[in-house]
Structure 1
Amino acid sequence: MTNLKISAISDNRLTAARLTMTAISTTLFLVSLVLIGLKGFNWGLDFTGGVVAEIQVHSNLILEDIKPLLDQILIQDVQVISSSETGQWIVRFSQSDKHVVELNEIFSHLPFTVEIINSSVVGAQVGQEMVEQGGLAIMACLLLTMIYLSCRFEWRLALGALVALLQDVVIVLGLFALMQWEFNLTILAAVLAVLGYSLNDSIVIADRVRELFRANPNGQADLLINDAIRATFSRTLVTSGTTLVTVSSLWLLGGATLEGFAVALCLGIVCGTWSSVSVGVSLPKLLGVAPIHFQPQIVDLEENAL
């Protein structure tokens, strides 16, 4: 009797925790949508167009010796990133198609010698095409995922996994809108990676839910969902934990170039693990999913024969 009471309390607490997580996820999702709508994104040069140049200067010069001068000359916030080689820097700044600035003219105003190793220019029109192609890539990914989930799961579980995917992407984008961090092609790649990672977590739990529902036609949906979460918790914790450690190392040691990519992945991993419980299985339960929906249909052969 004591074991039954402990089991019942555990299930009640887990159900309450799921509902609390769902409320938090819904709040974060709505707040992220508002931030995206109000603040927008700080588009990087990959999308707006601009100049990227790799330069060689004296090895004794540091960031504070270079960036303030370039900011003053170009009248904008110039990105100056240290390269892997000593004395080499990557300079990035925006410019319009109507006003093209010569690199030699810019660097000639600096009080030290600058050697241009290489440079590239991204036009504003090309940047706009990248915005459109990036949006299409995310939409195509969501569409193909929806088709896959619809074929694999009952529609309630499929919808839960799809909404969980959408929530993860929106929250990651909401953070970048809030902080106004640069959004470039590297961040877009991280967002697409988050889609795949979140889908993996949602499918693992949804698979377990389906198995338990099929094996227990008379079971209670809440209790079976809780059992599915318990059965997959250790696996999810180990997978997410090891991946998070790896990405965190990339964040700490990868330098400024990969910082945004690592931040997006870290947040995406946490959100993907969270949403697989808060949305992936909680939303189907709110929509009335039950073991009866996963039982094979019994066919009356005699009736069909007639």
Structure 2
Amino acid sequence: MVEFFKQRIRRIRYLTSFVSVALMVISLIALGVNGLNMGLDFTGGMVTEVSVDANVTHDQLVDTLEPALGEFTNVTHSDQEGRWLIRYPIPAEGQQIVDLTKVLSPISHHIEVVSNSMVGSQVGQDLVDQGGLALLISMLSILGYLCFRFEWRLASGSLVALLHDVVLVLGFFAATQMEFNLTVFAAVLAILGYSLNDSIIIADRIRELLLAKQSTPIEEINDQSVIATFSRTMVTSGTTLMTVSALWIMGGSALQGFAIAMFIGILSGTWSSISIGTVLPEWFKLEPKHYLPVEVDDAP
């Protein structure tokens, strides 16, 4: 496997870069056509905590509540046995408010509405604004860090790789119309940090080899850098994917969106740091002279 990778590394880098561009275009089209299916955290909705019989399962609640409350109903277990949090859209004007006691009566003998609250649309809009601001500040901070640490030709690869990973995750949620809520947004911010770490490892190696092998073409420098960091990348990504997979399988519906976003982000972050992170500096003609000290003329 390793020998196969070494022999075809340049072809793999170029091929994955074209795949990345194609996926970005598809994701942007999906975002433009479908948009994101914003969850109740952003659009507003009702949050009701109910107490039912201890033997009532999550699937029973979902199957019973969705026909009455709509497909965007979300059910999560509370901190006590038999207590559940139900999130569902605010009834439209003129629609009758659903009586949860009647809806749940076929599957439970004991039903008690513990609390009932409403998240208004204004609060949801504030969350959208704050989330967008958080994402913008994160990207600007990363941009500043990359400009400080690397020459712009090398930094551009890491920055575009970050944008690629975020666009792919957003495009997936737009294409599938899965609910985009606060937990998914938290995953997007986590992906930024994870992808940046991968890109910096490879970029550091490229910079070292540029100075150590100044007569070597940049294409070969990039090949050697990817090969040198390949085992570290596979171990890191593999163990993280195992953890996220366990979270996906065992975390239930409440963490499903978070786990899926992280899974996609880790995969795309791994290949984008190899493809985009190395191919873009080649297109911008990165050379060893860009990292050599500037000679100062001592002549009077």
TM-score by shorter chain over 0.5: yes
Out of 167, 172, 182, the residue aligned to residue 170 of structure 1 is 167
Correspondence 1:80-229 to 2 at 5 A: 80-83=75-78, 85-95=80-90, 105-108=99-102, 110-111=104-105, 112-229=109-226
Matched, 1:283 2:284: no
Matched, 1:256 2:245: no
Q: Distance in 1 between matches of 2:263 and 2:72?
A: 27
Matched, 1:61 2:59: no
- How far does residue 256 in structure 1 lie from its aligned partner after superposition? 1.1
The 8 Å contact of residues 56 and 114 in structure 1, kept in 2 or not, is answered as yes
List per-residue Cα deviations over 1:157-190 (Å, max 9, x = no partner).
1111100000000001111111111101111100
Q: Distance in 2 between matches of 1:234 and 1:150?
A: 27
2:44 corresponding residue in structure 1:
49
2:12 corresponding residue in structure 1:
17
- How far does residue 70 in structure 1 lie from its aligned partner after superposition? 3.2
Report the 3-state secondary structure (helix = DSSP H, G, I; strand = E; otherwise coil) of the residue aligned with 1:59: coil
Out of 234, 238, 263, the residue aligned to residue 235 of structure 2 is 238
Q: Distance in 2 between matches of 1:76 and 1:238?
A: 39
Q: Which runs of 5+ in 2 are unaligned?
A: none
The 8 Å contact of residues 168 and 271 in structure 1, kept in 2 or not, is answered as yes
- Greater mean deviation of Cα atoms: 72-81 or 49-58: 72-81
The 8 Å contact of residues 22 and 278 in structure 1, kept in 2 or not, is answered as yes
Which has the greater radius of gyration?
A: 1
List per-residue Cα deviations over 1:76-126 (Å, max 9, x = no partner).
5422334464432221101169679767x4434543542123333210011
- Greater mean deviation of Cα atoms: 59-68 or 149-158: 59-68
The residue identity in structure 1 corresponding to 2:196 is L
- Greater mean deviation of Cα atoms: 43-52 or 81-90: 81-90
- Greater mean deviation of Cα atoms: 214-223 or 292-301: 292-301
The 8 Å contact of residues 19 and 278 in structure 1, kept in 2 or not, is answered as yes
The 8 Å contact of residues 190 and 264 in structure 1, kept in 2 or not, is answered as yes
The residue identity in structure 2 corresponding to 1:50 is G
Pair 1:279–1:58, CA change in 2 (3 A) = same
Note the aligned Cα RMSD (angstroms): 2.3
Q: Distance in 2 between matches of 1:235 and 1:49?
A: 43
1:70 corresponding residue in structure 2:
65
Matched, 1:299 2:259: no
- Greater mean deviation of Cα atoms: 209-218 or 74-83: 74-83
Q: Distance in 2 between matches of 1:75 and 1:243?
A: 35
Q: What percent of counterpart residues are identical?
A: 46
The 8 Å contact of residues 6 and 227 in structure 2, kept in 1 or not, is answered as no
How many residue pairs match? The answer is: 295
Pair 1:212–1:109, CA change in 2 (3 A) = closer
The 8 Å contact of residues 39 and 179 in structure 2, kept in 1 or not, is answered as yes
- How far does residue 242 in structure 1 lie from its aligned partner after superposition? 1.1
